[in-house]
Structure 1
């Protein structure tokens, strides 16, 4: 099976990524092969996909609204299959991320982001990547967390929710992004509930939040019906939420998506995808594989982890801005958000699997 690849010149930033659904993979592979060739059947794609070495699939031009500066990035596909985003494939996934890191380095990218699951397999430890690379790696989690917090604040303003009177539940509370959200809302909400599978880390977080109205659990079902605001920033998928209160704000900030949407009645709650950003300046993909890969309501919407590398490239700050776990500070969240806004990169409009919310705080163009 042959695919057409773009010419790979040097770039200003790189994105290491993977696909969350096989439907994306099927569409991507067949679009890469071109319209003049026969479509490859799904069974063949599933078999051969994991054997592809990491490589740059397309380039991205992004223009700052500050000074019309244009930078060019490369998307490096790790070829981690959607079925392999689980712990039993940890060793092979780490190797694929390392190969993608080598690829980003070969492309001459001074800064690269570990998109989605690629940072989770390393637990944010960029030091686990091969030594001697000139490319610096960031997880992108600081800007993602900043976008999520802003999503909550903006949505509460639109929905007339009072955060100080709200019970906030954070799923994935001991992870890098989840813990950043916990730290932000600690003391700002009426009640915080931390949900995570690792009980030891849960107790450590509970101890750190002494003096704050806080509960911990390893089962989201225990408190889901009491939540006014639920933030999902976990490494799990197909999380089921039952018996939610009418008017609950649910933000799924996971990649792959965390929440099983078949279990929630979106006519009674407010559901949106969080941690996403919007590029007010120009953004151009070539070859344009955006449609098979990105199911979003605007071509200018992208994940916060991706946009962190863009912001750092605009700012010429080529260092590991986000790394490890639990090291995101409120000061850094505020800083990266200010840098992003300076270049016209802002939180994405509210949307979910059904499209844009009917009420928007901002007016966005396509």
Structure 2
């Protein structure tokens, strides 16, 4: 059995979803309540591969909300993720993906040091961040969507915003090794990590965000949007492909221009309907078929019986592992979202 650990995008969203899922006691509560609310299994899932194989899974709502980080409830956020992991393990789930902020919190606060959660000793090989599959799908979106727009990668400049993160660095490695992209622009806050990545790749120009965006034919955004930062679409190239790999997906509302194509990054479509309700709740356009690539990684690992932390640690994603997860992604009927 596979598991998915997720969370909602805001307190308001959480209250609305709680009501819809039949948890009225959660529906009108404030942030303090959500800081103490325990994790819940709120969806049972059946996925059928195009090979005919069927697997079962469960969605674990962590009750984490982004406002916890904004309001400096860091201990509450950490507790949410660890409790959700322990909850999944107690229910015998073989491999569980950490979705959205779950994996970010795990990495940023070194939660691998927190092996004991009350009476549960966490077995980390039961968990994956899903970042390898996400990075693979983002790269395939770059390749396939640019072709649809008539952007020739061999002549194109690609800016990766958030280049030093786990997913961003993997995207850079893939673009360097698997494509003939002309120029690669590296954008991130940490200059030391940027220089290390540039040295590893043997290429790439380190630029500030405002310098990189007007130069890019393709922008892969895999960072959080800094407060106060606005993107003026008139300053971007025309055409420009902007792949929004962040969470929540909000670039399509922030950047609107006929010459800029904004694509929801890190999203896959399955060839067959999935029996679940959770993707409708997070407002996927085709909730029976579309899902986050990190969640799909847990499904793929369950299909293949690879019950291991396939994606784990910072900047450990290799092009070879992306190839490996990519092959089974195609095998079981997943494809990158392109519209």
Match of 1:254 in 2: 246
Contact kept? 2:35, 2:68, Cα under 8 Å = no
Structure in which a larger fraction of residues adopt helix? 2
Distance in 1 between residues matched to 2:49 and 2:175, nearest whole Å: 31
Do residues 344 (structure 1) and 333 (structure 2) align? yes
Partner of 1:245: 237
**Aligned residue in 2 for 1:81:** 65
Asked if residue 273 in structure 1 is aligned to residue 257 in structure 2, the reply is: no
Q: 2:131 aligns with which of 135, 141, 145?
A: 141
Work out whether 1:216 is the aligned partner of 2:206.
Answer: yes
- C-alpha displacement of 1:87: 9.1
Moved more, 13-22 or 233-242: 233-242
Whole-angstrom CA distance in 2 between matches of 1:116 and 1:32 = 20
- Equivalent residue for 2:162? 172
- Counting only pairs closer than 5 Å after superposition, residues 268-307 of structure 1 correspond to structure 2 as 268-285=259-276, 288-307=277-296
Distance verdict in 2 for CA 1:332–1:38, change over 3 Å = closer
Contact 1:61 1:71 in 2 (8 A): yes
SS at match of 2:275: strand
Pairwise CA distance, 1:106:
1.0
How far apart in 2 are the matches of 1:248 and 1:345? 26
What pairs with 1:6-25 in structure 2 (closer than 5 Å)?
12-25=1-14
Q: Distance in 2 between matches of 1:129 and 1:17?
A: 20
How big is the shift at 1:47? 4.5
- 1:52 is aligned, of 37, 58, 70, to 37
1:105 is the counterpart of 2:89: yes
Counterpart check, 1:158 vs 2:148 = yes
Measured after TM superposition, the shift of residue 133 of structure 1 is 3.2
**Distance in 2 separating the partners of 1:83 and 1:317:** 35
The one-character-per-residue Cα deviations of 1:322-354 (angstroms, maximum 9, x if unpaired) are 00111111111111011111111221242xxxx
* 1:297 CA drift (Å): 3.5
- Decide whether the 8 Å contact of 1:148 with 1:274 is kept in 2: yes
Q: Structure 1 residues 295 and 189, CA, compared in 2 at 3 Å: closer, same or farther?
A: same
2:21 maps to which of 32, 42, 48:
32
- In 2, Cα distance between equivalents of 1:216 and 1:47: 42
Return the TM-score normalized by structure 2.
0.89
How many residues of Structure 1 are paired with residues of Structure 2 in the alignment?
328
Partner of 1:313: 302
